[in-house]
Every structure is written in C-alpha cells, then in structure tokens.
Amino acid sequence: MPFYSTSSQVGVDLNNTSTTQLFALGQVVDGTDESKWVYCQASTSVTAYKVCALSTAGAMGMASATDVLGGLTLGVAQTAFAAAAFGWIPIKGNGAFGVMTTGSCSVGNQTYVAASSTPTGIVSISASGSCTMLGLYLTAVVDTALASVANCVLSYPKPKSPGTL
C-alpha cells in the first residue's frame, strides 16, 4: 500500500529512498492514516518490514535487543534501504503497516524483539524473545512456521520496563 504525506512539506516521498539527503535528519512529517514518519539515514542495509532503531543523530539500523533497551526511537521500515540511503520510517499510525515476524502470530499477543539467535529487527510473540515491546500491535493472524510479514499498528514503539504497563 502506498503511503502519502499530509504535511505541507514539499517533496516528501514516504515510499522510496534516496542516495541524496533531501531533508534534515530526524525531521518528522504526518502521513495518511494518522501516521508520523521520521527522516533518517541507514547506517547499514535495512530489510523492509524490520523493526529499526533511530539514533538522536538520525542514523538508523535494524533493531537488536540492545538498541531497544538503550532507549532509541523505534519504527518499522516499510521499504528496503541500501547502506547510507536516506528515507522515511513510520513511528506511529493506524495504517496497514507490515512487520516481519518469526512465524505464527495472533492478534492480541505481546510482541518481543526476537532473541539474538534470530536476525535483528524481527518481531516474535515468543516469551523466549528478548525485550517486550509496547506500541507495536499485530492486527492480523500469521499462521506459518517461517518468517513472514504481518499487519500492525504503531504507537511510538518502545520497550516495556519492569513494573510498567
């Protein structure tokens, strides 16, 4: 599904990346379906639909449990990024965002960044995963043994600290 900017910023393309920096890193724009997107630069290549961590300087890469626990801003890349490419990733929205999961997932489960034995940036519903997340909610059932893309809603994803909701 293509995403569109609803901000008055000229030239925003939420669906593609660029080798040229067109906006200030960390800039936020509004998009369709009440979404918010952050402009960033990939520090390494990024696979579409992976959870990503953004530094305060605007660098972005696929999130590990260490990144998540470190308090970095989280989003889910909706397109692939080549290393050093510039583009937008959503941090909030009710749209049909995709997120890579480790296999069978159902609606209403807590989500986790997958354990270290799994490639970075993949979401799991297994409690053996590391780092419980809040703000990333699956909206469709995935019934497969293999990694696949599930629909989700984003609401500023963050780790769940012990003793918090």
Ordered by start, the domain boundaries in the chain are 97-159
Report how far residue 129's alpha carbon sits from residue 140's, in angstroms, rounded to the nearest whole number.
20
pLDDT at 54: 92
Closest CA to 73 of 92, 86, 87: 92
pLDDT along the chain (165 residues), means of 10: 77 94 95 92 95 91 79 90 97 87 72 66 68 79 73 84 49
pLDDT at 163: 45
3-state DSSP call for residue 69? helix
pLDDT at 25: 97
Please, are residues 13 and 77 in contact by the beta-carbon 8 Å criterion?
no
pLDDT at 1: 56
Please, are residues 157 and 136 in contact by the beta-carbon 8 Å criterion?
yes
- Please count the other Cβ atoms lying within 10 Å of the Cβ belonging to residue 39: 23
Report how far residue 68's alpha carbon sits from residue 131's, in angstroms, rounded to the nearest whole number.
7
Record the tokens describing residue 9, joined without a space.
């910023």
Closest CA to 131 of 157, 93, 104: 157
pLDDT at 14: 93
